[in-house]
């Protein structure tokens, strides 16, 4: 993973002309809490944010598009990618395998573009180990257990057995909430999206990410 002082960083996502390295914005939550919905809203309104498209061995859900929601691959191909070290992180979740392809993410960060991830606590731990300075992690909590079950049922994307499996795992997933930089209880969707937007804007302005600041200040001082 290149360092934060990568010379190719650009001004993407910042006012003015200060070069910046891109960041990895991770949303994790128990299944059904709302991370996919929040992600979609974020992508609609932010030109400097792209979604990291994971590989998975899970079966495609109705309406999901290969190459957009996931790259749907078989376990043999998944293991090949792991062995070739083509994945930034990977994990087994609900009996399926998921992972983040390296290439697109590393290219975006170098170009000062931010990347949004919808990954579980295991993947987030791996990114924290390999690229802590690039990582901003947010845990999304549902407002209540019954509301979580209602959302999973209303979403109508999983069988009753699958919903029961995800509810059973929710406790284990939520036990990792304190490992995250930020925590949002997703009561009202608009408020949650506004909160994620605010976190992203603040993180973009962090001094250590604005790798072009010293040039900018020197230019400013030269003009005084």
Ligand X SMILES: Nc1ncnc2c1ncn2[C@@H]1O[C@H](COP(=O)(O)OP(=O)(O)O)[C@@H](O)[C@H]1O
Selected range binding ligand X among 91-99, 109-117, 183-191, 195-203, rule: CB under 6 A:
183-191
Among 5, 45, 76, 154, binds ligand X (CB under 6 A): 154
Q: Restricting to residues 32-51, which ones interact with ligand GDP according to CB under 6 A?
A: 32, 36
Residue 18 interaction partner, one of ligand X, ligand GDP, none, beta carbon < 5-8 Å per kind? none
Q: Give the C-alpha separation, 122 to 102, whole Å.
A: 17
Q: Give the C-alpha separation, 129 to 184, whole Å.
A: 23
Give yes or no for residue 64 binding ligand X (CB under 6 A): no
Judged by phi (left if over 0) then psi (alpha if -120 to 50, else beta), residue 115 lies in: beta
Least separation in angstroms between residue 189's CB and ligand X is 4
Are the CB atoms for 22 and 112 separated by under 8 Å?
A: yes
Among 20, 23, 108, 120, binds ligand GDP (CB under 6 A): 120
Give yes or no for residue 126 binding ligand X (CB under 6 A): no
Give yes or no for residue 35 binding ligand X (CB under 6 A): yes
Give yes or no for residue 37 binding ligand X (CB under 6 A): yes
SS3 43: helix
Give yes or no for residue 118 binding ligand GDP (CB under 6 A): yes
Looking at residue 54, the DSSP 8-state letter turns out to be P
Least separation in angstroms between residue 137's CB and ligand GDP is 12
46 - beta bridge partners?
none
Selected range binding ligand GDP among 1-9, 95-103, 140-148, 192-200, rule: CB under 6 A:
95-103
Identify which of residues 19 and 90 has a Cβ nearer to ligand GDP in the complex: 90
Q: Give the C-alpha separation, 190 to 38, whole Å.
A: 9
Among 126, 137, 186, 210, binds ligand X (CB under 6 A): 186
Per-residue DSSP letters for 156-203? Answer: T-S-HHHHHHHHHHHHHHHTTGGGSSEEEE-SSHHHHHHHHHHHHHHH
């Amino acid at each position: 993973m290149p360092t934060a002082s990568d010379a190719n960083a650009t001004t993407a996502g910042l006012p003015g002309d200060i070069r910046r390295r891109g960041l990895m914005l991770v949303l994790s939550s128990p299944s059904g809490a709302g991370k996919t919905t929040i992600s979609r809203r974020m992508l609609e309104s932010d030109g400097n944010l792209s979604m990291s498209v994971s590989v998975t061995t899970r079966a495609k859900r109705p309406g999901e598009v290969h190459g957009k929601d996931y790259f749907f691959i078989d376990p043999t191909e998944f293991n090949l990618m792991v062995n070739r070290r083509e994945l930034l992180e990977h994990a087994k979740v609900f009996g399926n395998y998921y992972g983040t392809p390296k290439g697109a993410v590393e290219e975006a960060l170098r170009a000062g573009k931010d990347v949004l991830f919808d990954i579980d606590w295991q993947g987030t731990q791996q990114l924290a180990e390999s690229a802590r300075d690039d990582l901003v992690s947010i845990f999304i909590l549902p407002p209540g257990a019954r509301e979580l079950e209602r959302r999973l049922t209303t979403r109508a994307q999983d069988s009753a057995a699958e919903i029961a499996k995800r509810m059973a795992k929710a406790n284990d997933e939520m036990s990792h909430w304190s490992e995250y930089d930020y925590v949002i209880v997703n009561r009202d969707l608009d408020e949650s999206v506004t909160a994620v937007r605010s976190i992203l804007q603040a993180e973009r302005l962090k001094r250590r990410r604005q790798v072009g600041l010293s040039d900018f200040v020197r230019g400013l001082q030269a003009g005084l």
